[in-house]
Structure 1
Amino acid sequence: MEPFVLAITGASAQRLGERALQVLLEQEQNVHLIVSKGAHLVWESEIGIQIPVNPQLQEKFWRDHLGTSKGSLTCHKWNDQSACIASGSYKTRGMLIIPSTMGTVGRIASGISLDLIERTADVHLKESRPLLICPREMPWNLIHLRNLTSLAEAGAKIAPPIPGWYTDPKSVDDIVDFIIVRIFDSFGLEVIDFPRWKQEKQ
């Protein structure tokens, strides 16, 4: 099974990246995970949890934290540009960056690869593979809009994590799951049994 690449950057809304990883593993998917240096710092400051930097220790951390032994998980250090996913010859199903900082967006749009996330995103664009980016920032200034437009023109999908309210969410978890469901719709993957829009009978 060709793997998904999941990248979590240092934007707020780490819960989205965490839930994305959980549902992929629960679906028995093969996942390659990159947690940026900034995301490590955000987890420690906002959530009070230290994510191990060592890839093997980090895999154990996620297994314990999410309470699942399903799927396949390979963790990569954020600056390991010799990782398999940094090469276009390593086939993947697609890449998801959630949440994404606008700094990450800007560097990818400019073709700058300072870390493994940016290099792997560049690989997905050059190989015409699915790349979906969830920018977590608001409001967007003109520079943000131009960078996002450049990425869309290069083949990426842009999916800001905006919830729908027609499902009548009762909790933050409901809102998170709605966003996750819509994101993985773009990959043709049904990850959660979740209520969808239904046309009312006339």
Structure 2
Amino acid sequence: MSIRRFTLAITGASGAFYGLRTAEEILKSGAHLTLLVTRAGFAVLKEECSLNWHGNPAQIRDMICGHFNVDPVKLAYHAEDDLYAPIASGSAAAHAMIVAPCSMGSLSRIAGGNSGNLIERCADVMLKEKKPLILVPRETPLNEIHLKNMLKLARMHAAIIPAMPAFYHHPRSINDMVDFVVGRVLDMAGVEHDLFCRWGQPERDDR
């Protein structure tokens, strides 16, 4: 069976933990991951997660692999301006692409078909190849422009999963709330996980 490959982008919205947790679970599943981060995304990672990933692409990849304790064979990194990366082509499209968190600026440019950077180009590839594109917007309140862009993308069969944790599973920590959102993302991407108790299931004792 072929190895599943995913693309994950972290943009400049608050909520970088969603992207990191998603990456961790994808790698845990045995799939290969290509990680993309915008300049603003790196700033949020530093501000919210104390991760100062900087340097040339090879150095940043090594830092990312060290953070996740994963073999570099399983994790690729490309700079946001690297439009020659394999994933920029439909012939090398991933099984699914996730943008978590997704800023309203990135969402707008994806909705408009703007391929100004590698993240936007990869999202465009997913739409044209009719492969899963999952966006996790983290903004509130939402204005009419935001809502119209989400509707436009939903009509193109992108999945919009706002960072809205549920409470029926009685979260006990911020991690529990993050895991609920990430679990819903992974459900949509077809990645098995055990991050939260589903409706009707007994509560877990290992939290």
With normalisation by structure 2, the TM-score equals: 0.90
Equivalent positions of 1:58-97 (< 5 A) are: 58-69=60-71, 72-97=74-99
* Equivalent residue number for residue 17 of structure 1: 19
* Equivalent residue number for residue 205 of structure 2: none
Unaligned runs of 5+ in 2: 203-207
Structure 1 residue identity aligned to 2:188: S
* Equivalent residue number for residue 167 of structure 1: 169
Percent identity, please.
39
* Equivalent residue number for residue 133 of structure 1: 135
Aligned 8 A contact 1:55 1:76 in 2: yes
Equivalent positions of 1:30-179 (< 5 A) are: 30-69=32-71, 72-179=74-181
Q: Kindly tell me: are residues 27 and 108 of structure 1, through their superposed partners in 2, closer, same or farther at Cα, counting changes over 3 Å? A: same
With normalisation by structure 1, the TM-score equals: 0.92
Aligned 8 A contact 2:93 2:125 in 1: no
Residue of 10, 14, 26 corresponding to 2:28? 26
Q: CA deviation at 1:199?
A: 6.9
Q: What is the SS of the residue equivalent to 1:184? A: helix
Q: Kindly tell me: are residues 69 and 84 of structure 1, through their superposed partners in 2, closer, same or farther at Cα, counting changes over 3 Å? A: closer
Q: What is the SS of the residue equivalent to 1:160? A: coil
In structure 2, distance between residues paired with 1:47 and 1:178? 19
Structure 1 residue identity aligned to 2:74: S
Q: What whole-Å deviation, never above 9, does each CA across 1:120-148 have from its counterpart, x for those lacking one?
A: 00010011010000011011100001111
Q: What is the SS of the residue equivalent to 2:90? A: coil
- Alignment pair present for 1:181 and 2:188: no
Structure 2 residue identity aligned to 1:175: M
Aligned 8 A contact 1:130 1:156 in 2: yes
In structure 1, distance between residues paired with 2:185 and 2:50? 27
Tell me which moved more, 29-38 or 61-70.
61-70
Aligned residues between the structures: 200
Aligned CA-pair RMSD? 1.8
Aligned 8 A contact 1:24 1:191 in 2: no
Q: What whole-Å deviation, never above 9, does each CA across 1:7-35 have from its counterpart, x for those lacking one?
A: 11011000110111111111111101101
In structure 2, distance between residues paired with 1:194 and 1:147? 30
Aligned 8 A contact 1:27 1:71 in 2: no
In structure 1, distance between residues paired with 2:201 and 2:181? 20
Structure 1 residue identity aligned to 2:135: I
Q: What is the SS of the residue equivalent to 1:60? A: helix
- Alignment pair present for 1:194 and 2:192: no
Unaligned runs of 5+ in 1: none
Q: CA deviation at 1:171?
A: 0.6
